[in-house]
Amino acid sequence: MALGDEFSVIGDWFMIHFVENNGMAWGMSFGGEYGKLFLSLFRLIAISGIGYYLYKLIKSEKNALLIISISLIFAGAVGNIIDSLFYGLIFEASGSFHIAQAFPADGGYAGLFHGKVVDMLHFPLFEGFYPDWFPVIGGDYFAFFRPVFNVADSSITIGVAVLIMFQKRFFGEEKADENQEIETTTEETSEIAV
């Protein structure tokens, strides 16, 4: 597909729409070439930390849903970093009327860590115009849901949503375990004192 091309999957509310971004949410960029390198290195460090935390959760046999949610976040982060690491090496630059060629003779459009992230899932569920009486945005066009995202973004979002929804179950267990340890230690200390 050429940059900006789209086709319908289910009516007008689920489209495959090809866009590229510099790797941050909503296509934001971060300080040019060095910012992109910093972002990629930060992601690698974050992935390492998340991976280690996931390993510790699995090893200590924590709540299965907690492990699944952290796994989703980890998998999504790995997917986006793979795009960022290798996409620029594999493809030539995409264009509005140009389909990018894989493995061009002159090399890809960017070096290691400098590739763009491909987004393609678009769900414009409904669209219209804000009423004129709305402050600041009255009369402006809106579409819900406007962002275009990828499977990795979905994985991260679902993982974070599960963490937020079940945080008391996940982290309340740890507090209960800590309180149990404190009570046990207090009882043992009281018995020794007597």
> Is 132 known to be catalytic?
no
DSSP, collapsed to helix, strand or coil, labels residue 63 as coil
- The catalytic residue among 119, 132, 140, 177 is 119
Per the DSSP assignment, residues forming a β-bridge with 117 are: 21
Return d(Cα 97, Cα 100) in angstroms, integer: 10
> Is 12 known to be catalytic?
no
Closest residue by Cα to residue 90 from 77, 117, 116, 109: 109
**Tokens (6 digits) for 187:** 């009882």
Q: Give the total residue count for the chain.
A: 194
- The catalytic residue among 5, 132, 140, 153 is 153
DSSP 73-128: HHHHHHHHHHHHHHHHHHBPPPBTTBBPPBS-TT--SS-TT-PPEEEEEE---EEE
Q: Which residues are catalytic?
A: 119, 153
